[in-house]
Protein backbone atom coordinates (compact mmCIF):
# COMPACT_ATOMS: atom_id res chain seq x y z
CA UNK A 1 0.00 0.00 0.00
CA UNK A 2 1.72 3.13 -1.26
CA UNK A 3 1.04 6.80 -0.60
CA UNK A 4 2.47 9.74 -2.52
CA UNK A 5 3.19 12.87 -0.48
CA UNK A 6 3.40 16.31 -2.08
CA UNK A 7 5.03 19.23 -0.25
CA UNK A 8 5.16 22.72 -1.76
CA UNK A 9 4.59 24.95 1.28
CA UNK A 10 7.72 27.03 0.88
CA UNK A 11 10.66 26.87 -1.52
CA UNK A 12 11.16 23.13 -2.05
CA UNK A 13 9.13 21.07 -4.48
CA UNK A 14 9.32 17.80 -2.55
CA UNK A 15 7.56 14.55 -3.40
CA UNK A 16 7.93 11.16 -1.76
CA UNK A 17 6.44 7.67 -1.87
CA UNK A 18 6.08 5.75 1.38
CA UNK A 19 4.81 2.21 2.02
CA UNK A 20 2.62 1.01 4.88
CA UNK A 21 5.67 0.31 7.05
CA UNK A 22 6.85 3.89 6.74
CA UNK A 23 9.68 2.88 4.41
CA UNK A 24 10.61 5.65 1.98
CA UNK A 25 10.60 4.11 -1.53
CA UNK A 26 11.61 7.38 -3.12
CA UNK A 27 12.01 11.02 -2.18
CA UNK A 28 12.83 13.75 -4.67
CA UNK A 29 13.39 17.39 -3.80
CA UNK A 30 13.79 20.23 -6.30
CA UNK A 31 15.32 23.09 -4.37
CA UNK A 32 14.81 26.72 -5.34
CA UNK A 33 17.92 27.92 -3.52
CA UNK A 34 19.44 29.33 -6.73
CA UNK A 35 16.35 31.42 -7.38
CA UNK A 36 16.00 32.93 -3.91
CA UNK A 37 19.63 33.19 -2.76
CA UNK A 38 20.12 36.50 -4.58
CA UNK A 39 17.35 37.97 -2.44
CA UNK A 40 18.52 36.49 0.88
CA UNK A 41 15.09 34.98 1.45
CA UNK A 42 12.16 33.33 -0.29
CA UNK A 43 10.26 35.50 -2.79
CA UNK A 44 6.66 34.17 -2.77
CA UNK A 45 5.76 35.04 -6.36
CA UNK A 46 8.92 33.37 -7.69
CA UNK A 47 8.39 30.35 -5.44
CA UNK A 48 4.93 29.49 -6.76
CA UNK A 49 6.05 29.89 -10.37
CA UNK A 50 9.05 27.64 -9.77
CA UNK A 51 6.87 24.93 -8.17
CA UNK A 52 4.57 25.05 -11.16
CA UNK A 53 7.50 24.80 -13.57
CA UNK A 54 9.11 21.68 -12.02
CA UNK A 55 6.42 19.71 -10.21
CA UNK A 56 5.50 17.36 -13.08
CA UNK A 57 9.14 16.53 -13.71
CA UNK A 58 9.64 15.84 -9.98
CA UNK A 59 6.51 13.66 -10.04
CA UNK A 60 7.85 11.60 -12.92
CA UNK A 61 11.16 11.12 -11.14
CA UNK A 62 9.65 10.13 -7.81
CA UNK A 63 7.34 7.57 -9.48
CA UNK A 64 10.19 6.13 -11.51
CA UNK A 65 12.46 5.81 -8.50
CA UNK A 66 9.67 4.00 -6.64
CA UNK A 67 9.29 1.61 -9.57
CA UNK A 68 5.96 3.13 -10.63
CA UNK A 69 4.75 4.91 -13.74
CA UNK A 70 2.13 7.52 -14.45
CA UNK A 71 -0.04 5.19 -16.58
CA UNK A 72 -0.82 2.44 -14.09
CA UNK A 73 0.21 4.59 -11.13
CA UNK A 74 0.09 1.82 -8.47
CA UNK A 75 -0.52 4.33 -5.69
CA UNK A 76 -3.26 3.97 -3.09
CA UNK A 77 -3.65 7.60 -1.99
CA UNK A 78 -2.24 11.10 -2.39
CA UNK A 79 -1.37 13.33 0.55
CA UNK A 80 -0.61 17.00 0.11
CA UNK A 81 0.42 19.86 2.41
CA UNK A 82 -2.55 22.24 2.79
CA UNK A 83 -0.79 24.64 5.20
CA UNK A 84 0.78 26.48 6.85
CA UNK A 85 2.96 28.15 4.24
CA UNK A 86 2.90 30.50 1.28
CA UNK A 87 -0.60 30.45 -0.24
CA UNK A 88 0.53 30.56 -3.86
CA UNK A 89 3.05 27.76 -3.30
CA UNK A 90 0.57 25.58 -1.42
CA UNK A 91 -1.97 26.01 -4.24
CA UNK A 92 0.35 24.43 -6.78
CA UNK A 93 0.71 21.26 -4.70
CA UNK A 94 -2.98 21.08 -3.85
CA UNK A 95 -4.08 21.61 -7.47
CA UNK A 96 -1.75 18.87 -8.73
CA UNK A 97 -2.84 16.51 -5.94
CA UNK A 98 -6.51 17.04 -6.78
CA UNK A 99 -5.91 16.39 -10.48
CA UNK A 100 -3.95 13.20 -9.78
CA UNK A 101 -6.53 11.97 -7.28
CA UNK A 102 -9.29 12.52 -9.82
CA UNK A 103 -7.37 11.03 -12.73
CA UNK A 104 -6.16 7.95 -10.84
CA UNK A 105 -9.35 7.65 -8.75
CA UNK A 106 -7.53 7.38 -5.44
CA UNK A 107 -8.21 9.23 -2.16
CA UNK A 108 -6.93 12.76 -1.51
CA UNK A 109 -5.71 13.81 1.95
CA UNK A 110 -4.80 17.34 3.09
CA UNK A 111 -1.97 17.43 5.63
CA UNK A 112 -0.78 20.02 8.15
CA UNK A 113 2.91 20.66 7.40
CA UNK A 114 3.76 20.66 11.13
CA UNK A 115 2.05 17.32 11.67
CA UNK A 116 4.14 16.18 8.70
CA UNK A 117 7.33 17.15 10.53
CA UNK A 118 6.13 15.14 13.55
CA UNK A 119 5.42 12.10 11.36
CA UNK A 120 8.98 12.26 9.97
CA UNK A 121 9.81 10.64 13.32
CA UNK A 122 8.02 7.42 12.36
CA UNK A 123 9.59 7.04 8.91
CA UNK A 124 11.93 4.10 8.15
CA UNK A 125 10.16 1.88 10.65
CA UNK A 126 11.06 3.98 13.70
CA UNK A 127 8.72 3.58 16.67
CA UNK A 128 7.32 6.50 18.63
CA UNK A 129 6.65 5.98 22.33
CA UNK A 130 4.12 8.28 23.98
CA UNK A 131 3.87 10.72 25.56
CA UNK A 132 6.72 12.15 23.50
CA UNK A 133 8.15 15.69 23.61
CA UNK A 134 8.94 16.76 20.06
CA UNK A 135 11.06 19.78 19.23
CA UNK A 136 9.87 21.07 15.86
CA UNK A 137 12.49 23.55 14.80
CA UNK A 138 12.64 25.00 11.30
CA UNK A 139 12.74 28.17 9.23
CA UNK A 140 9.23 29.23 10.20
CA UNK A 141 8.60 27.44 13.49
CA UNK A 142 10.20 26.60 16.81
CA UNK A 143 7.93 24.74 19.20
CA UNK A 144 7.91 21.98 21.76
CA UNK A 145 4.94 19.71 21.21
CA UNK A 146 3.77 17.08 23.66
CA UNK A 147 2.49 14.25 21.49
CA UNK A 148 0.09 12.39 23.77
CA UNK A 149 -0.67 9.91 21.02
CA UNK A 150 -0.77 10.21 17.23
CA UNK A 151 -3.11 13.06 16.36
CA UNK A 152 -3.20 14.46 19.92
CA UNK A 153 -0.90 17.44 20.33
CA UNK A 154 -0.28 19.96 23.07
CA UNK A 155 1.97 22.91 22.29
CA UNK A 156 4.05 23.34 25.45
CA UNK A 157 5.97 26.33 24.18
CA UNK A 158 6.96 28.18 21.03
CA UNK A 159 8.96 31.11 19.81
CA UNK A 160 7.62 34.56 20.54
CA UNK A 161 9.48 36.09 17.59
CA UNK A 162 12.00 34.53 15.16
CA UNK A 163 12.23 30.80 14.54
CA UNK A 164 15.66 29.28 15.24
CA UNK A 165 16.21 28.56 11.53
CA UNK A 166 15.28 32.13 10.71
CA UNK A 167 17.89 33.37 13.22
CA UNK A 168 20.50 31.15 11.55
CA UNK A 169 19.47 32.50 8.14
CA UNK A 170 19.57 36.16 9.21
CA UNK A 171 22.92 35.91 11.01
CA UNK A 172 24.41 34.03 8.03
CA UNK A 173 23.15 36.71 5.70
CA UNK A 174 24.76 39.42 7.82
CA UNK A 175 28.02 37.44 7.80
CA UNK A 176 27.90 37.23 4.02
CA UNK A 177 27.39 33.45 4.02
CA UNK A 178 25.03 31.61 1.67
CA UNK A 179 21.31 30.84 1.96
CA UNK A 180 19.88 28.89 3.72
CA UNK A 181 22.11 29.97 6.57
CA UNK A 182 21.83 27.00 8.94
CA UNK A 183 24.06 24.59 7.01
CA UNK A 184 26.48 27.45 6.16
CA UNK A 185 26.91 28.44 9.80
CA UNK A 186 27.32 24.80 10.75
CA UNK A 187 30.14 24.46 8.19
CA UNK A 188 31.98 27.62 9.27
CA UNK A 189 31.49 26.72 12.95
CA UNK A 190 33.53 23.50 12.60
CA UNK A 191 36.70 25.61 12.61
CA UNK A 192 35.65 27.91 15.44
CA UNK A 193 35.76 27.91 19.22
CA UNK A 194 32.20 27.63 20.64
CA UNK A 195 33.30 29.12 23.97
CA UNK A 196 35.03 32.15 22.41
CA UNK A 197 32.07 34.51 22.86
CA UNK A 198 29.26 34.30 25.38
CA UNK A 199 26.09 35.44 23.59
CA UNK A 200 23.12 36.33 25.81
CA UNK A 201 20.19 33.94 26.15
CA UNK A 202 16.80 35.65 25.94
CA UNK A 203 14.53 35.69 28.98
CA UNK A 204 10.88 34.75 28.39
CA UNK A 205 7.91 34.73 30.76
CA UNK A 206 6.78 31.19 30.03
CA UNK A 207 9.43 28.62 30.69
CA UNK A 208 9.06 26.58 27.47
CA UNK A 209 8.80 29.54 25.10
CA UNK A 210 11.69 30.76 22.98
CA UNK A 211 12.93 34.10 21.70
CA UNK A 212 15.65 34.28 19.07
CA UNK A 213 15.32 37.85 17.90
CA UNK A 214 17.45 39.23 20.77
CA UNK A 215 20.27 36.69 20.37
CA UNK A 216 20.27 37.33 16.61
CA UNK A 217 20.61 41.09 17.13
CA UNK A 218 23.32 40.52 19.75
CA UNK A 219 25.41 38.64 17.17
CA UNK A 220 24.88 41.32 14.55
CA UNK A 221 25.87 44.04 17.05
CA UNK A 222 28.91 42.04 18.13
CA UNK A 223 30.07 41.70 14.53
CA UNK A 224 29.59 45.44 13.97
CA UNK A 225 31.61 46.46 17.01
CA UNK A 226 34.33 43.80 16.55
CA UNK A 227 35.16 43.95 12.84
CA UNK A 228 38.38 41.91 13.22
CA UNK A 229 36.76 38.99 15.06
CA UNK A 230 37.12 35.41 13.80
CA UNK A 231 33.99 34.57 11.82
CA UNK A 232 34.52 30.92 12.74
CA UNK A 233 34.40 31.75 16.47
CA UNK A 234 31.24 33.84 16.03
CA UNK A 235 29.52 31.07 14.06
CA UNK A 236 30.54 28.40 16.57
CA UNK A 237 29.53 30.49 19.59
CA UNK A 238 26.20 31.48 18.06
CA UNK A 239 25.39 27.90 17.07
CA UNK A 240 26.33 26.66 20.54
CA UNK A 241 24.10 29.20 22.28
CA UNK A 242 21.07 28.35 20.11
CA UNK A 243 21.62 24.62 20.53
CA UNK A 244 22.04 24.98 24.29
CA UNK A 245 18.71 26.82 24.59
CA UNK A 246 16.86 24.33 22.38
CA UNK A 247 18.19 21.30 24.25
CA UNK A 248 17.71 22.74 27.76
CA UNK A 249 14.06 23.72 27.15
CA UNK A 250 13.19 20.49 25.38
CA UNK A 251 14.64 18.42 28.23
CA UNK A 252 12.90 20.56 30.84
CA UNK A 253 9.57 20.24 29.01
CA UNK A 254 9.95 16.49 28.48
CA UNK A 255 10.85 15.75 32.08
CA UNK A 256 8.33 18.05 33.73
CA UNK A 257 5.42 16.74 31.63
CA UNK A 258 6.40 13.11 32.18
CA UNK A 259 7.26 12.26 28.61
CA UNK A 260 8.89 8.88 27.97
CA UNK A 261 10.71 9.94 24.82
CA UNK A 262 11.98 12.91 22.87
CA UNK A 263 11.85 13.65 19.15
CA UNK A 264 13.52 16.18 16.89
CA UNK A 265 12.26 17.39 13.52
CA UNK A 266 12.25 20.37 11.16
CA UNK A 267 15.15 21.76 9.12
CA UNK A 268 17.31 22.78 12.09
CA UNK A 269 17.00 19.16 13.24
CA UNK A 270 19.62 18.42 10.56
CA UNK A 271 22.19 20.31 12.67
CA UNK A 272 24.83 17.84 13.91
CA UNK A 273 25.59 19.65 17.16
CA UNK A 274 21.88 19.79 18.06
CA UNK A 275 21.49 16.07 17.31
CA UNK A 276 24.56 15.17 19.39
CA UNK A 277 23.58 17.32 22.36
CA UNK A 278 19.99 16.12 22.43
CA UNK A 279 21.11 12.48 22.29
CA UNK A 280 23.55 13.09 25.13
CA UNK A 281 20.98 14.92 27.27
CA UNK A 282 18.41 12.18 26.65
CA UNK A 283 20.81 9.50 27.72
CA UNK A 284 21.65 11.37 30.94
CA UNK A 285 17.92 11.69 31.70
CA UNK A 286 17.19 8.09 30.71
CA UNK A 287 14.82 9.16 27.93
CA UNK A 288 14.80 7.67 24.45
CA UNK A 289 15.69 10.21 21.73
CA UNK A 290 14.36 9.68 18.21
CA UNK A 291 16.23 11.42 15.40
CA UNK A 292 14.93 11.11 11.84
CA UNK A 293 17.56 10.96 9.07
CA UNK A 294 18.76 14.49 8.26
CA UNK A 295 17.03 14.43 4.86
CA UNK A 296 13.75 13.69 6.61
CA UNK A 297 14.17 16.63 9.01
CA UNK A 298 14.20 19.27 6.28
CA UNK A 299 11.05 19.61 4.17
CA UNK A 300 10.26 16.43 2.22
CA UNK A 301 7.34 14.61 0.63
CA UNK A 302 7.78 11.36 2.57
CA UNK A 303 6.76 12.92 5.90
CA UNK A 304 3.60 14.30 4.27
CA UNK A 305 2.74 10.84 2.91
CA UNK A 306 3.35 9.32 6.36
CA UNK A 307 1.07 11.85 8.10
CA UNK A 308 -1.45 11.41 5.28
CA UNK A 309 -1.67 7.67 5.92
CA UNK A 310 -2.57 8.32 9.56
CA UNK A 311 -5.19 10.94 8.57
CA UNK A 312 -6.72 8.64 5.94
CA UNK A 313 -6.94 5.66 8.29
CA UNK A 314 -8.28 7.74 11.19
CA UNK A 315 -10.53 10.36 9.59
CA UNK A 316 -10.95 9.26 5.97
CA UNK A 317 -10.22 11.15 2.78
CA UNK A 318 -10.85 14.81 1.94
CA UNK A 319 -13.18 15.92 -0.83
CA UNK A 320 -12.28 18.26 -3.69
CA UNK A 321 -13.35 21.25 -1.62
CA UNK A 322 -9.93 20.90 0.05
CA UNK A 323 -8.39 24.35 0.21
CA UNK A 324 -5.03 25.78 1.25
CA UNK A 325 -4.80 27.32 4.72
CA UNK A 326 -1.76 29.60 4.83
CA UNK A 327 -1.94 30.19 8.61
CA UNK A 328 -3.01 26.71 9.69
CA UNK A 329 -2.03 25.84 13.30
CA UNK A 330 -1.14 22.44 14.67
P1 LIG B 1 8.57 25.46 8.26
O2 LIG B 1 8.49 24.02 8.59
O3 LIG B 1 8.55 26.32 9.46
O4 LIG B 1 7.59 25.87 7.22
P5 LIG B 1 10.62 25.55 6.34
O6 LIG B 1 9.55 25.02 5.50
O7 LIG B 1 11.30 26.83 6.11
O8 LIG B 1 10.09 25.63 7.74
P9 LIG B 1 12.55 23.40 6.75
O10 LIG B 1 13.22 22.63 5.66
O11 LIG B 1 11.73 22.63 7.70
O12 LIG B 1 11.75 24.53 6.02
O13 LIG B 1 13.67 24.23 7.54
C14 LIG B 1 14.55 25.10 6.89
C15 LIG B 1 15.38 25.82 7.95
O16 LIG B 1 16.30 24.89 8.55
C17 LIG B 1 16.23 26.96 7.41
O18 LIG B 1 16.07 28.08 8.25
C19 LIG B 1 17.66 26.42 7.50
O20 LIG B 1 18.64 27.43 7.72
C21 LIG B 1 17.57 25.48 8.66
N22 LIG B 1 18.60 24.43 8.59
C23 LIG B 1 18.76 23.49 7.64
N24 LIG B 1 19.86 22.73 7.88
C25 LIG B 1 20.41 23.22 9.02
C26 LIG B 1 21.56 22.88 9.80
N27 LIG B 1 22.37 21.90 9.44
N28 LIG B 1 21.82 23.62 10.91
C29 LIG B 1 20.99 24.61 11.29
N30 LIG B 1 19.90 25.00 10.60
C31 LIG B 1 19.60 24.30 9.49
FE1 LIG C 1 9.13 22.67 7.19
The rounded radius of gyration (Å) of the Cα atoms in the chain is 20
Detail the DSSP E strand segments found in the chain. Answer: 3-7, 12-18, 24-31, 77-83, 108-112, 132-137, 142-149, 152-158, 261-265, 288-290
Strands 288-290, 108-112: pairing kind:
unpaired
Residue nearest (by alpha carbon) to ligand 1 atom 6: 10
How far is it, in rounded angstroms, from Cα 78 to Cα 216? 39
d(CA 228, ligand 2 centre) in Å: 36
Nearest-CA residue for ligand 1 atom 15 is 139
Whole-prediction pTM value?
A: 0.97
Per-residue pLDDT 10s for the chain (330 aa) are 999 999 999 999 999 999 999 999 999 999 998 888 888 778 999 999 999 999 999 999 999 999 998 887 899 999 999 999 999 999 999 999 999 999 999 999 999 999 999 999 999 999 999 999 999 999 999 999 999 999 999 999 999 999 999 999 999 999 999 888 999 999 999 999 999 999 988 899 999 999 999 999 999 999 999 999 999 999 999 999 999 999 999 999 999 999 999 999 999 999 999 999 999 999 999 999 999 999 999 999 999 999 999 999 999 999 999 999 999 999
Q: Which ipTM score applies to this complex?
A: 0.98
Was 129 annotated as part of a binding site? no
Residue bearing the CA closest to ligand 1, atom 23: 267
Amino acid sequence: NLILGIETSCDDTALGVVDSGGIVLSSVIASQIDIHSNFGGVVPELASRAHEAVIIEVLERVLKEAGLNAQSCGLDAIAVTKGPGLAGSLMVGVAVAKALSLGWRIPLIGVNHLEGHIFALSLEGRLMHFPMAVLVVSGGHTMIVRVNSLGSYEILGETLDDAAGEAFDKVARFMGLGFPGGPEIEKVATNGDPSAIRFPIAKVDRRFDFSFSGPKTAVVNYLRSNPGVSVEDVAASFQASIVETLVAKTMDAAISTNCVSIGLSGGVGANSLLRERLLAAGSVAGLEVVLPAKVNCTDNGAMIAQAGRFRLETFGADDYGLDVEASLRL
